[in-house]
Amino acid sequence: MTDALFTGLSALALYAGWRVFRVDSMVRASFWLMISFIAVGGIGLLLSAPYIGVATVFMMAVEMTVMVLFMVMFMMNPAGLNPMMMVHQHRFSIGVGVVAFAGMTAATLLTDLPSNPVAAGKAIVHDLGIELLGDSMLIFETAGVTLLATMVAAVILSARTGRFGDAVEGSVPPGLEPGGTPAGRVPEKSGGHHHGHGGHDHGSHGDGRSDHAHHHEGDGHDSGGHDHAGDKEKHA
Amino acid sequence: MSLAAFPFLAFFLALGAALVVVLDAVARAALAGAPAGPYLAGTFRHAAMRLSGQLVTTEAPDRANWRLAPAWYGALAAAGLAVVPFGEGMALIQLPTSIVLWGAVEALVVVVVFLHGWSPNAPFPLIGAYRYVATGLPVMLPSMFVLIGAALPARSLDVLAIVESQREMWNVVRQPLGLPLFLIVGLSLTLRGPMDYADSADLAGGSSAEDSGPARAMWQAARLAMLVAFSAMAATVFLGGYLGPLLPGPLWLALKTALVLELMVAATHLLPRMPVSRMVTFLWVVLLPVSFLHLLAAGLVAL
């Protein structure tokens, strides 16, 4: 029974992990990764790690949801249903994958793995708590505070009133084909009036910006606007 | 418990869902000052219309997730109910960390509701899905604090031990903030009343706006099943679960579950609903500190 469950969960983890790299959407990739982790959590339960196994499931559920939202926000791909290429650096990643797989397989096969089953009456969760708040406290607290700082930073970066001015300024959706016109609504020609107001928020481009805005809308933008500038030239 | 538990759990979910349908109709009728009969008949007519209706699809949806979302949701409800003990040692899933498993079910509900709104590839469902994540994730935090608080007197993460720790005094008495906070979590888990941000009428149905025919009926059924599972869990964690004199344990649990269901239906129809942005602020600025204080108080009492 345990062997069958282990085989099934391992197969699910591997299949879901493989799907992560084959699907064409960030949302699908994230949730395939979540399924892979849930299978690993199930294996954790089989290995008599009831807390870590179950905690893996809920941590991954929350984490993948947050990851999906942030990826969709930062990639400016509406909803993540637009097909997109999810892999890059093919040769390098294939090489790394082969080396990592060979290394880990070798490590697994060559190591003399111990076999000491957990005693039936052992207070596993209790012992884990003692470990986490005892010898390993420094490690876990450091990791926790680092993660918290990362989350706060991510929220600040994604906030509408961000460090680089209002988030609406200069955000242009990606084209439906490489170098194509931006997806979604095309900004109106009279947008220059609007940008003139934007200049007051962060004056790095000076007052000249609003003068040029009617002719080269893209020039005044931050890094996000470069694709847009190219499109405008084509239209002209 | 064995395989015989499966039909029993299904029966429990169906019975609870039927009770909610009746309670909802009664509540609507009472608010309108009208007899409940037509409201109840309307519910069944609506269900029959859905079940016999045509399945309409959108352009380029994620079909697998869209069709499977009600099944995932229902499966999560069943998994949540499987953790609930119906008597001494009578839980289908027995783990030393079964309350954490319930937490995992809650977290996965957010994923499922998001996928349900995301997969039709349409604006209203997607807005509903995003709204749900914005409100559903911050609700997870009070939920964890409340559940940890309930585990403190038991000194265990096992739901069975949490019930046994309430032999002297129910958790609803020694942790008075726990049940109200947990009910808010339940409203969010089942997309109801003041926490109805995913499927709300102001988005023309939100995450189920593009659902049609039997698919929509299935989604509603799954929501009812989750409501029953949640209520059984709330009754177990705060009202002593199967504990009680004279009557057998499962019956006590059923009665207490029915009581929580009534509270939930009342909250659905009586509590005001805030705009989503104000609700997000409320969740982070008010509810999170309150639940933290609750955990602190529960810890001091448990010491």
DSSP A46-107: HTT-HHHHHHHHHHHHHHHHHHHHHHHHHHT-GGGTS-------HHHHHHHHHHHHHHHHHH
Element (H, E) at A162: strand A161-162
- Chain B partners within 8 Å of A124 (Cβ): 96
pLDDT score of A215: 41
Is the pTM above the cut of 0.90? no
- Chain A partners within 8 Å of B103 (Cβ): 58
Residue B54 contacts residue B298 (beta carbons within 8 Å): no
Burial B218-236 (b: 16+ CB within 10 A, else e): bbbbbbbbbbbbbbbbbbb
- What is the spatial distance between Cα B191 and Cα B198, in angstroms, rounded to a whole number? 6
Q: Which of A30, A47, A58 to mutate to test the interface with B (most CBs of B within 10 A)?
A: A58
Per-residue pLDDT tens digits for A103-137? 999 999 999 988 888 887 788 888 888 888 888 89
Structure tokens given for B29? 């009728």
> What distance in Å separates residue B102's CA from the closest CA in chain A?
9
In order of A74, A215, A228, B118, B242, the CA distances from A175 in angstroms are: 15, 21, 9, 21, 59
DSSP B215-263: HHHHHHHHHHHHHHHHHHHHHHHHS-TT--SSS-HHHHHHHHHHHHHHH
Q: Do B107 and A61 touch (CB under 8 A)?
A: yes
> What distance in Å separates residue A99's CA from the closest CA in chain B?
34
What residues pair up with A166 in beta bridges, in sequence order?
Answer: A161
Region A58-85 average pLDDT: 76
Q: Higher confidence at residue A94 or residue B1? A: A94
pLDDT score of A129: 87
**Unique residue bearing structure tokens 């016109």:** A181
> What distance in Å separates residue B262's CA from the closest CA in chain A?
29
Q: Is B99 exposed, middle or buried (0-12, 13-18, 19+ CB in 10 A)?
A: buried
Share of chain B above pLDDT 70, in %: 99
Answer yes or no: is pLDDT of B18 > 80: yes
pLDDT score of A220: 38
Residue A8: count of CB within 10 angstroms of its CB: 13
Q: How many A/B residue pairs have CB atoms within 8 Å?
A: 65
Structure tokens given for A120? 């039936």
Domain positions in chain B: 5-302
* Closest among A202, A215, A54 to B100, alpha carbons compared: A54
**Unique residue bearing structure tokens 């995913």:** B198
Domain positions in chain A: 1-97, 124-157, 159-184+211-236
* Closest among B241, B280, B217 to B73, alpha carbons compared: B217
Structure tokens given for A27? 């949302």
What was the ipTM of the complex prediction?
A: 0.89
- What is the spatial distance between Cα B266 and Cα B24, in angstroms, rounded to a whole number? 9
Per-residue pLDDT tens digits for A150-162? 988 877 776 666 5
> What distance in Å separates residue A74's CA from the closest CA in chain B?
15
Per-residue pLDDT tens digits for B245-259? 888 888 999 999 999
SS3 state of residue B92: coil
Share of chain A above pLDDT 90, in %: 31
Structure tokens given for A111? 């190591």
**Unique residue bearing structure tokens 């933008």:** A221
Element (H, E) at A165: strand A165-166
pLDDT score of B25: 92
pLDDT score of A24: 81
pLDDT score of B69: 94
Counting every residue, how long is chain B? 303
pLDDT score of B230: 96
Q: Do B60 and A81 touch (CB under 8 A)?
A: yes
Q: Do A65 and B97 touch (CB under 8 A)?
A: no
Residue of B nearest to A51 (CA): B97
Q: Give me the residue from B96, B104, B121 closest to A58, CB to CB.
A: B104
Residue B65 contacts residue B211 (beta carbons within 8 Å): no
Structure tokens given for B54? 């045509």
pLDDT score of A64: 92
Per-residue pLDDT tens digits for B144-181? 999 999 999 998 899 999 999 998 889 998 899 999 99
Per-residue pLDDT tens digits for B72-112? 999 999 999 999 999 888 888 888 899 999 999 999 999 99
pLDDT score of A120: 78
- CB neighbours of A43 closer than 8 A, spacing ≥ 6? A6, A9, A10, A13, A53
pLDDT score of A124: 87
